[in-house]
Amino acid sequence: MKNSRFDIVRLFALAFVAFTIASCGGGKSVDPLDPAEQEPEKSTKAELTSFTLQPGSTGLAKAITGYFSRDQIKFSIPESLDMAALKPTLKASDKATIYVGDQLYKEGDTYDLSNGAYIKVISEAGTTSKIYSLKGEIGDNFIDTYIWKLMDHCSVPGVAFAVMKGSTVVYSKGYGWAVVDKEKVTPNTLFRMASISKQFCTMCIMRLKEEGKLKLDDKVFGDKGILKGIFRTTPYHETITVRHLLSHSSGICAGLDDPAFNSSYRYFGGRSSDPVPTDTLIQRTLDDRKTPYKNGSAEYSAGERYNYSNVGFCVLHRIVEVVSGKDYESFLREDVLAKMGVTDTYIGGYERERRSNECVVYSQGGGNGYANPLRNLAGAAGIITSTSQMMEILKHIDGDDDVPDFFTKETLAEMYTPYKYSGQDYNTYGLGWRMNNAKRFFGSHFHGGNMAGTATMWVGGATGDGKGNFSEKMSGAIICNSRSYVDNLTWDTSWGNSSSNDIDDSFYIILGEAFRYFK
């Protein structure tokens, strides 16, 4: 008993000493109400920061980086690989937990990333999560990433893209929707070509020239003109030749607000459902440009200056009809394209006339692509075709011998030589084709097109060198079923250019990058 009482006293004494020492700074007390003494709060961040497929055991020759499109991750792999047996490297917010489907992620493990796969990220605190759907495709991830970015930034539902090295197509793919949520784009999907139609009209004219049925320096209007008796003209109009129209130097639209896309010219009484015939559109334009164009004190006659003219190519398509004795579409299809093996190209129509493999156009900015009367504008903007058909055409007009050319070398040289304007130093347009883009398409013939619901570009025979350093001829096309009006797009490119202004400039960048990459 005595010993027990002594032990209790001793314990109280030791406790008192310890308390005294702590109170005097010999130890530290813990205040449970002090925030500084609390455990650190756990993170609520749940973001996937990177998705990479590493080379090596999966059979990849080089790493593939996923493209983040909002809550979707897109990636492309070669056809030889199995989408159900990939090894992704995933990075997420600090201390977050990652699941691939229902499986806890562990780097180095194999996962099924085929259709329906998803990634779930759960924050450290367990209170926040985010799910990313995976969209794996067969293709080239480098090229596809450019197209995906274009589609996202420009709100484009569908794109077709193709690249050709020499006469061999090295890449061809459709992206997104030809008809949203119903039909996918393929290389055989028909798109509206807008101003790329002008090259088709040029080929018709060149075919008639080679057949000896017209000369490029033939007069178009007046008593000695190809179209004599069809239009009311003036002495100025009677100086215009076929060559002037092909080179956009006729001047018939100079100073006018593009009559081909101006409702006061192309509709009866401003009624957008009632377009005037092509001849009426041409006559209205001629009536408003009866004399050579004046700019201040200067006066410009036919052949002097470049002035882009849609109506000029409407005149050319009428020349094709008058000289050939056929309607324009029949001559184009039967006497030109069929001889190249191209059989799925047409003049487009209204939405109710859409062909079974033709995409829908999705207009932006309040425009209406279906308001354009394509048959009336056939030579300037009426063509519908596909990237597969475009590559076949480019093979037949490239000047090489591996695929027989449709035209003689002399005719090709006329098309692809810059026109010499008598009053202007301008060397970037030939006959129906643009050229001399030294930055990305040196040595090429090319053209773009745009109107409501449509944006297009094709390039033939680009040899470099804007420091792309490709010497073998590269060709390609990119076509979209929507026309964006977004400016200031930015791109990280291998040539150091990091910005562009709009969708047209982006086409130059994407095709230039593709030529460099595949070469």
pLDDT tens per residue across span 100-148: 999 999 999 999 999 899 999 999 999 999 999 999 999 999 999 999 9
Domain check: are 130 and 243 in the same one?
no
Residue 450, pLDDT above cutoff 60: yes
Domain check: are 372 and 263 in the same one?
yes
Q: What percent of the chain has pLDDT above 70?
A: 88
Highest mean pLDDT among 5-19, 265-279, 420-434, 503-517: 420-434
**Which of the 8 DSSP states describes residue 336?**
I
Task: Give the pLDDT confidence score for residue 54 in this predicted structure.
Answer: 86
Mean residue pLDDT across the chain? 90
Cis peptide leading into 465, omega within 30 of 0? yes
Residue where a domain terminates, one of 102, 123, 139: 139
Residue where a domain terminates, one of 107, 123, 139: 139
Domain extent, residue 205, equals 191-518
Domain check: are 319 and 255 in the same one?
yes
Domain check: are 334 and 437 in the same one?
yes
Domain assignment present for residue 17? The answer is no
Residue 376, pLDDT above cutoff 60: yes
Domain check: are 101 and 198 in the same one?
no
For residue 260, give the CATH number of its domain: 3.40.710.10
Domain assignment present for residue 8? The answer is no
Would you give the distance in Å from CA 99 to the centre of its chain?
35
Token duo for residue 41: 């709060």
Task: Give the pLDDT confidence score for residue 417 in this predicted structure.
Answer: 95
* Helix, strand, or coil (residue 7): helix
Domain check: are 131 and 219 in the same one?
no
Encoded amino acid at 287, one letter: D
- CA gap 137, 114 in Å, rounded: 9
- Structural domains of the chain, count: 2
Domain assignment present for residue 144? The answer is no
Residue where a domain terminates, one of 139, 171, 206: 139
For residue 89, give the CATH number of its domain: 2.60.40.2340
> Which CA distances in Å does 2 have to 5, 9, 14, 28, 424?
5, 11, 19, 35, 123
Domain check: are 358 and 447 in the same one?
yes
Would you give the distance in Å from CA 316 to the centre of its chain?
28
Domain check: are 315 and 231 in the same one?
yes
**Which of the 8 DSSP states describes residue 372?**
S
35 confidence band (pLDDT: 50, 70, 90): low
Q: What is the pLDDT of residues 295-309, one digit of tens each?
A: 988 999 999 999 999
Domain check: are 130 and 245 in the same one?
no
Counting DSSP H helices and E strands in the chain, the numbers are 12, 21
Domain check: are 219 and 342 in the same one?
yes
Residue 21, pLDDT above cutoff 50: no
Domain assignment present for residue 296? The answer is yes
Q: What is the pLDDT of residues 296-350, one digit of tens each?
A: 889 999 999 999 999 999 999 999 999 999 999 999 999 999 999 999 999 999 9
Domain assignment present for residue 54? The answer is yes
**By the 8 A CB rule, do 511 and 490 touch?**
no
**By the 8 A CB rule, do 431 and 415 touch?**
yes
31 confidence band (pLDDT: 50, 70, 90): low
**By the 8 A CB rule, do 452 and 372 touch?**
yes
Stated length of the chain: 519
Domain check: are 277 and 366 in the same one?
yes
- CA gap 181, 362 in Å, rounded: 13
Domain assignment present for residue 2? The answer is no
* Helix, strand, or coil (residue 515): helix
Domain check: are 406 and 472 in the same one?
yes
Which whole number is the average pLDDT over 233-247? 98
Q: What is the pLDDT of residues 501-517, one digit of tens each?
A: 789 989 988 998 999 89
CA nearest to 446, candidates 464, 455, 433: 433
Residue 153, pLDDT above cutoff 70: yes
- CA gap 329, 351 in Å, rounded: 19
Q: What is the pLDDT of residues 392-442, one digit of tens each?
A: 999 999 998 889 999 999 999 999 999 999 999 999 999 999 998 766 777
Encoded amino acid at 84, one letter: A
Residue entry with tokens 């092509």: 278
Domain assignment present for residue 438? The answer is yes
Domain assignment present for residue 176? The answer is no
